[in-house]
Structure 1
Amino acid sequence: MMISEVTEQELIEYAREDADDPEVFKAFNIILAACKSYIRSYTGLTDELIDTKEDLTIALMVLANEMYENRTFTVENDKVNVVVKTILNMHSINLL
């Protein structure tokens, strides 16, 4: 599945939340847009290139779930989520 195909409904199901709650849907609508933007900024990839990397989809889902669960992107002890960081680093073209 490509990132462009991911829907709010799929993220809600992944998070095991109430899909009928309009507030949950609204939150995941915002989170989905934020996750896509974060992945674009972090990797430096275009939307077209992001869609060629299917493993980025799980990074998006984990990131979205964590954003929802914690309402922020959790950084513990100055460490970014290892799964998300590893996948994004594999595709990052804007490393210094």
Structure 2
Amino acid sequence: MIQGSGRCHYHPERTGLGICVECRRVICRECTTQFEGINRCASCLGKRLQALEGPAERREWSVGNVMLALIGAAVVYGFVLLFAQVASEL
């Protein structure tokens, strides 16, 4: 599709109604979505909504995570005991 032809980028058989402010493509009535008072195509709207959601939520602790934490704590405790024993022999 030739940009600026007045035809929808996604539906070349349809007349363009507006221009997406993000990608600057001509879009038809079906493709136009107003969000925050601004015309965006579905692709750019999806990207915008993802950006507004922010970082993903933290996951809950699983059994594997708990086991890994306990093993890590046991290893650290073992090294502390080992260094305490070596220090007492000196």
TM beyond 0.5: no
Structure with the greater relative contact order (CA < 8 A, sep ≥ 6): 1 or 2?
Answer: 1
Q: Which has the higher helix share?
A: 1
Structure that is richer in strand per residue:
2
TM-score computed with the length of structure 2 as normaliser: 0.29
